[in-house]
Structure 1
Amino acid sequence: MEGCEHKCGDVRIPFPFGIGANCSMNKWYVVDCISSTPYLHALNHLEILGVDLENQTVTVNTPVISDCSETKSIDLGRSPFYFSKLQNIFVHEGCGNAVMTDHGRSITGCSTTCGNDSVSHTNNCLGMGCCQATLPHHLKSYNINITDGVSNRACKSAFLVDEASYLEGKFSIGENKSYVPISLLWTLAFSDLETLICYAFLDKLEVDLGNGTTVDSWKCRYSIPSNMEGNAYLIDGCESRFDSEECLRCKDAGGFCYNVPIYGVDGLVAEKKERCCSSWSKVKVDVGNDTLVESLKCLEVEYGKVDVNAYLADGFEEECATCRDGTGGSCSYDLIYDVQGLVTRKVFSCIPGQSKVHESKSSQAVILGVSVSIGILVLVATIYLMHKEIKKTKERIQRKMSSMEEGNVLPIFDSMVVKEGSKDVLLALANLAMRCLNMNGKYRPTMMEVVSELETIRTSHIPSTD
Structure 2
Amino acid sequence: MALQMVLFRMLVLVMMCSVLNAFEGASNVINSSCSEYCGNVSIPYPFGIENGCYVEDWFEIVCRSSNDSYDLGFPKPYLKKLDLEVLKIDMDFPGQVSVNYPIFSSCTDGTNSKKNLQLEKSPFIFSATNNSFIAMGCNNSALMLSIFPDDSISFGGCNSPCDRAPFTNRSHCNATNCCQTTIPSDLQEFSTTMQPKSSYNNGSSKCKYAFLVDQNWFETNFTEPNQNMSVPVVLEWGLDNTTFYSLPTMKNMTAREYKNSTYNCGWWLTLRNFTGRICVCRSGYGGNPYLLGGCGDINECANRDLNTCTLDTRCENTEGSYRCVAAKNTKLSIIIGVSTSLGVLFLIFSGCGSYKVIKKRMRIKRKEKFFKQNGGLLLQQQLSTNNEVNVENTKLFNSEELEKATDCFSVDRIIGHGGQGTVYKGMLADGRIVAIKKSMVIDEEKLQAFINEVVILSQINHRNVVKLLGCCLETKVPLLVYEFIPNGTLAEYLNGQNEEFSPTWDMRLRIAIEVAGALSYLHLAASSPIYHRDIKSTNILLDDKYRAKVADFGISRSVAIEQTHLSTLVQGTFGYVDPKYFRSGQFTDKSDVYSFGVVLAELLTGEKAISSTGTRDTKSLAAFFVSSMEENNLFNILDSQVLKEMEKEKIIAVANLAKRCLNLKGRKRPTMREVAMELEANQMSQKLAFDLQQKYGEIEDVKIEISEQCDVVSISTMSSMDSAIATSSFDTKPLLISS
What is the TM-score with the length of structure 1 in the denominator?
0.49
Structure having the larger proportion of residues in helix: 2
What is the TM-score with the length of structure 2 in the denominator?
0.32
Higher alpha-carbon Rg:
1
